[in-house]
Amino acid sequence: MKTKFATGLVAFAAVSALALSGCSGSDRGGETPDEGGESAAAGFEDGAKIGVALPQKTSENWVLAENLFNDGLTEAGYDPIVQFANGGVSEQQNQIQAMIEQGVKVLVVGAIDGSQLGSQLEAAESAGIPVIAYDRLLQNTDAVDVYEAFDNFHVGELQGQALLEGLAERKGEGPYNIELIAGSPDDANSKPFFDGAISILQPKIDDGTLVVKSGQVTQQQAATQGWEAENAQNRMDTILSGSYKDDDLHGVLSPNDTLARAALTSAKQAGKDVPVITGQDSEVESVKSIMAGVQYSTIYKDTRQLVQATIDAVDAYKAGEEPTVTDTETYDNGVKVVPANLLEPVIVTEENAADVYAGDPTLEDLTM
């Protein structure tokens, strides 16, 4: 386990340097698109307006991204317009349209529902505005130029691996009773998270090492609308009362920290022992829980790194160039394969938290 985590830390450091320096690289045979391709932007002036449309404030990372975009874009010489759409999809549609009318030169979109922005993105394309999909893929449109994100399938793989390792470490020999939680069905990231985890867990389900007593094994069955903690907890309450009256719950696959804490609350209220549970986003309360030996793992996706990579892409468009990408094959949005710049996520447990969070002003002190 230590060897794997050390390898992950080396990879994280290498990718951090890559993203912050703006250098090109590839894990999957990608290339920088300006080799023979036409730039999506002809360049623009200093002080240009840059639109950043963010979804609802469902996690700490989105709130941090707002501050980082405002500060980072201003420092880089731009005039940022950064907005959340806490009122839902229609509000985000209106915000994006207003940004286009205000003359933004680049549009960064963290979508609530990436399949419902087609008209607005087409308007951006018609106005010659490059569109960057931030963290969540924009779907069913060709009006998206690049996808800036962490490797979300690999996030799921890491979560699946962590669940198996945590079960062996904390629950002895199997078989193990587990339940699955998936993200919101309107979030394009939910599928790669779930698919990546199931690619690791399915062989163990098939051979009987893992038993999903509820029988809810598909993404649709495990989905959590809106990423709302209440929805996840209500579902877990129902599962525990219906399938675990006389049985232990050994583990839970959770796609993020908010839902992990909801599942832990449900297990506690049902009088069950603490299950091994995964997470994502390195939220403060979950990091505290990990250090206390409760939540088993989370995923660290440094928002500072992702925002900086996105600002680097804006800089490229300002210069009339194409941004760096690392993957030109994987992210088919239903209309086109979107060039992607993928950053490397890192799995975190109590064992390696101090090393992973070293230098992060929000999290470093929690591991000391």
pLDDT of residue 42: 66
8 A C-beta contact, residue 314 and residue 78: yes
pLDDT of residue 300: 96
- pLDDT tens-place string over residues 23-54: 333 333 334 444 333 445 568 999 999 999 99
CA distances from 160 to 70, 136, 246, 306, 322 (A): 35, 21, 26, 23, 35
- pLDDT tens-place string over residues 104-142: 999 999 999 999 999 999 999 999 999 999 999 999 999
Mean pLDDT, range 317-336, rounded to an integer = 95
pLDDT of residue 59: 78
* DSSP code, position 131: E
Rounded CA gap, 344 and 64, in Å? 19
Domains parsed from the chain with CATH numbers? 2-144+302-344 (3.40.50.2300), 153-300 (3.40.50.2300)
* DSSP code, position 27: S
pLDDT band at 61 (very low <50, low <70, confident <90, very high): confident
**What count of Cα atoms within 13 Å lies in the side-chain half-sphere of residue 206?**
6
Give yes or no for residue 283 having a pLDDT over 60.
yes
- pLDDT tens-place string over residues 327-365: 999 999 999 999 999 999 999 999 999 999 998 888 999
DSSP-assigned letters across all residues of 73-100: HHHTT-EEEEEE-TT-HHHHHHHHHHHH
8 A C-beta contact, residue 165 and residue 171: no
Structure tokens at 178: 């587990």
pLDDT band at 58 (very low <50, low <70, confident <90, very high): confident
Could you tell me where the beta strands, DSSP code E, fall in 120-248?
Answer: 131-134, 146-150, 176-180, 210-211
Identify the helix (H) or strand (E) that includes residue 313.
Answer: helix 303-318
pLDDT of residue 174: 94
Structure tokens at 310: 């996105």
Mean pLDDT, range 220-229, rounded to an integer = 96
Give yes or no for residue 21 having a pLDDT over 90.
no
pLDDT of residue 27: 36
- Mean pLDDT, the chain, integer: 89
Give yes or no for residue 14 having a pLDDT over 70.
no
